[in-house]
Amino acid sequence: MQHLAKIFSGTGSQYLAEKIAQQFGHPTGKITITRFSDGEIQPIFNESIRGDMVFLVQSTCAPAENLLELLLMIDAARRASAYKVVAVLPYYGYARQDRKDKPRVAIGSKLIANMLVSAGADRVITMDLHAPQIQGYFDIPVDHLDSSAIFIPYIEALPIQNLTFAAPDVGSANRIREIASYFNAEMVICDKHRKRANEIASMVVIGDVTDKDIVLIDDICDTGGTLAKAAGLLKEKGARTVRALCTHPVLSGKAYENIENSVLEELVVCDTIPLKRPSPKIKVLSVAELFAVAIRNAHENRSITGLFIHSQLKDKR
């Protein structure tokens, strides 16, 4: 028996869910998110989902409100007798709290995983987790999509010659190395030291960037401080151009000012999070088609391996 696939959206990702549904070939389902006068959230499905495979699209930004809304949507779907409930989180908030890196702190990403499973999610589809090991926090299947499938065609179309990739920190070196290998290009590392969150104490460049066209790649752009500092340092070291590609445009605090006042040629981001305002230096690429394919394959019990860079590397070789 083939269960119908229905895509619903929370209020935080309506713009993206509609694009995903359009790529999927069906409109988004009918749901109302009401709020009591004190702010209490109540989702109501306005159509039957009994026996259906339900995909709930909601990025957790701003984290608390959108996360709670998603949890209530999952619970409502379970109570409405959905066959399967799939939480589609283009941006998974709290992923930066993935370990106890100092005494007496929470492991927020594990807590969020527990909450999604407890609410009744049967599967999670997300993109570019801050730490890939977060997949192991779940006891349900996790489809972890890679923005490289979107960024690689964009990079291939860039009018540059001396392409070199830069990792904004040591932790992202493995991911950048894989992309550099795809292009048979060199890579460098911007090693940073923080005194506290969102504040960089020092940064050094490991590798030669003289006369190179640098592409910085990261999963999150929050305040933009790291990218602005890294771009300035790379230019000081002799780079010809510097641009950045970041999956999730959190862009909080003075992020827009930091990016616009930096030496970056451009910042290319995905639409996993809506921009707060347009910027002449920020370009947005859509993840809608990639998520639509992942949703279709999940619905039809087909593999999503072909969506990943390692599959493209294998084909290229």
pLDDT at residue 198 tops 70: no
192 is catalytic: yes
Helix (H) or strand (E) holding 22: helix 14-24
Domains in the chain, ordered, with CATH?
A: 5-146+288-312 (3.40.50.2020), 148-285 (3.40.50.2020)
Q: What is the pTM of this model?
A: 0.92
Q: Which of 192, 229, 281, 283 is catalytic?
A: 192
Q: Is 169 helix (H, G, I), strand (E, B) or coil?
A: coil
Q: Which of 103-117, 166-180, 230-244 has the lowest mean pLDDT?
A: 166-180
With a pLDDT cut of 90, the percent of the chain lying above it is 77
Q: How many CB atoms lie within 10 A of CB 16?
A: 25
**pLDDT tens figures, 266-305:** 999 999 999 999 999 999 999 999 999 999 999 999 988 8
**pLDDT tens figures, 85-111:** 999 999 999 999 988 888 999 999 999
Cα(168)–Cα(172) distance, integer angstroms: 7
Nearest Cα neighbor of 241 from 220, 214, 273 is: 214
pLDDT of residue 317: 46
Q: Answer whether the bond into residue 76 is a cis peptide, omega within 30°.
A: no
